[in-house]
Amino acid sequence: MSALPRYRRIMERIRARIAEGTYPVGGVLPAETELCAEFAVSRYTMREALRLLVEQGMLSRRQKAGTVVVSRHPRAAYVQSIGTVEELFQHSVDTHLTVIDRREVPAPPAPVPPDDQGPWHRIDGLRRTQAEGAPFCFNRSFIPGRLAGLALERPGSFGPFYAMLAERAEEPIEQVVQEITAGLMPEEVWSSLGLPPDTIGMCVHRRYLSRVGVLIASFNWYEASRFVYRMELERSRGPAAGPGRGGPTGAG
């Protein structure tokens, strides 16, 4: 017996035919039964082979319409994968946040959509690498009124605060929108960070959205000369997205 299972080898042969144009893009493959006869395998084996090619984005199948070639090559999806919700909040975990202000505000600023009518909670904080030391990031977060009860439970320093909120709110995060901008720091930011007034900053803004609406909207200000937003996109074949890396990386 060969090392590779039969459906695997058949998958390779069909892939080769697509690559060399025997089965052109947009064309229709022979029906399962015909392919079974040609390769002398059962329908299970052939379907397993075709399933792999569908997962790779090369084929598309529909009842009666048949199996059409979608792409000449396996899908090369460049993916910045963030595997878990925890990784989304990695920054919160890695660093130490000290709350310096907390108040109610009528609505968050643009570009946050004020989909929640009630008053919002605004929390300002400073991030440090260690509990002691100079802060490197000014954080301003907005939490809608409907979640304020949860948010207010943990005062003072809070590490995996966001993750707790997402978990407790029972609103699974459906989407995250991130926007990066740059410009002169607002006074609140540079003064809190102990920097001169003309400091150039980079602002990483994230909105964590559930089905209901905004869960958290956060603005993170960094000193531009000391900050690089780095992201790596890996070539990932097939359905199993590799362990992605990414996210903000401080740089000296």
Partner DNA sequence: GCGCGCAATTTGTCCAGACATAATCGCGAC
Partner DNA sequence: GTCGCGATTATGTCTGGACAAATTGCGCGC
Separation of alpha carbons 33 and 190, rounded Å: 70
Q: Which is nearer to a second copy, 149 or 238 (CB)?
A: 238
- Best CA proximity match to 77, nearest among 93, 45, 55: 55
Using a 10 angstrom Cβ sphere, with 0-12 exposed, 13-18 middle and 19 or more buried, the burial of residue 4 is: exposed
Q: How far does CA 199 lie from the centroid of its chain?
A: 30
Residue from 6, 55, 146, 213 in contact with a second copy (CB under 8 A): 55
Q: How far does CA 236 lie from the centroid of its chain?
A: 15
Q: Is 66 near DNA (CB under 7 A)?
A: yes
Q: Which is nearer to DNA, 66 or 246 (CB)?
A: 66
Mark 3-42 with x for binding to DNA (rule: CB under 7 A) and - for no binding: --xxxx--------------------x-xxx------xxx
Q: How many CA atoms lie within 13 A of 237 on its CB side?
A: 5
For a second copy, the binding residues in 155-194 under the rule CB under 8 A are: 172-184
Inter-axis angle of helices 6-19 and 43-55, to 10 degrees? 50
Mark 231-250 with x for binding to a second copy (rule: CB under 8 A) and - for no binding: xxxxx--xxxx--x------
Separation of alpha carbons 189 and 246, rounded Å: 25
Per DSSP, 28 falls in state B
Q: Is 12 near a second copy (CB under 8 A)?
A: no
Among DNA, a second copy, none, what binds residue 63 when CB lies within 5 to 8 Å by partner kind?
DNA
CA angle 98, 102, 104 (to 5 degrees): 160
Mark 71-110 with x for binding to a second copy (rule: CB under 8 A) and - for no binding: ----xxxxxxxxxxx--x----------------------
Q: How far does CA 108 lie from the centroid of its chain?
A: 23
Q: Which is nearer to a second copy, 2 or 78 (CB)?
A: 78
To DNA, the closest distance from the beta carbon of 46 in angstroms equals 7
Q: Is 70 near a second copy (CB under 8 A)?
A: no
SS3 state of residue 41: coil
Q: Is 117 near a second copy (CB under 8 A)?
A: no
Q: Which is nearer to DNA, 40 or 240 (CB)?
A: 40
Residue from 20, 25, 38, 44 in contact with DNA (CB under 7 A): 44
Separation of alpha carbons 151 and 145, rounded Å: 9
Give me 181's structure tokens. Answer: 């901008």
To DNA, the closest distance from the beta carbon of 249 in angstroms equals 35
- Best CA proximity match to 125, nearest among 106, 149, 143, 145: 143
Among a second copy, DNA, none, what binds residue 110 when CB lies within 5 to 8 Å by partner kind?
none
To a second copy, the closest distance from the beta carbon of 251 in angstroms equals 8
Interface with DNA (CB under 7 A): 1, 5-8, 29, 31-33, 40-45, 47-48, 61-67
